[in-house]
Amino acid sequence: MAPDFIFNLDFQTALGYFAATLTTLSFLPQVIRVYRTKNTDAISFWMYLLFSAGVFFWFIYGVMIQAWPVVVANAITLVLSLSILWMKINEQSR
């Protein structure tokens, strides 16, 4: 049986979680590909650095306004984008 909180979500919050899920999951194919191939040549370091910083500030903003779909999505997206950035940095240092 589904937890009670799922049935108590208003439409806006449910929509926020749905959008957050889609945008967060969009990073998984890139993380998986980079992890498997160990190749980050086609990935821009600066793009991922700026993107990760932006996601971090979205996370902080979400915490400040207590928008939990924003917090959860950006926390997960930050981990994924930082993992790609970390692999990019490690590949460049070889």
Find out whether 85 and 49 touch, Cβ atoms under 8 Å.
Answer: yes
CATH number, domain 17-92, options 3.40.50.880, 1.20.1280.290, 1.10.3720.10, 2.40.50.140? 1.20.1280.290
**First vs last C-alpha separation in the chain:** 50
pTM: 0.81
To 10 degrees, what angle do helices 45-65 and 68-92 make? 160
Sequence-distant (6+) residues with CB within 8 A of 69 are: 13, 16, 17, 19, 20, 62
Distance CA 73, CA 37 (A): 26
pLDDT at 33 over 90: yes
| Domains in the chain: boundaries | 17-92
Give per-residue pLDDT as tens, 34-51.
999 989 999 999 999 999
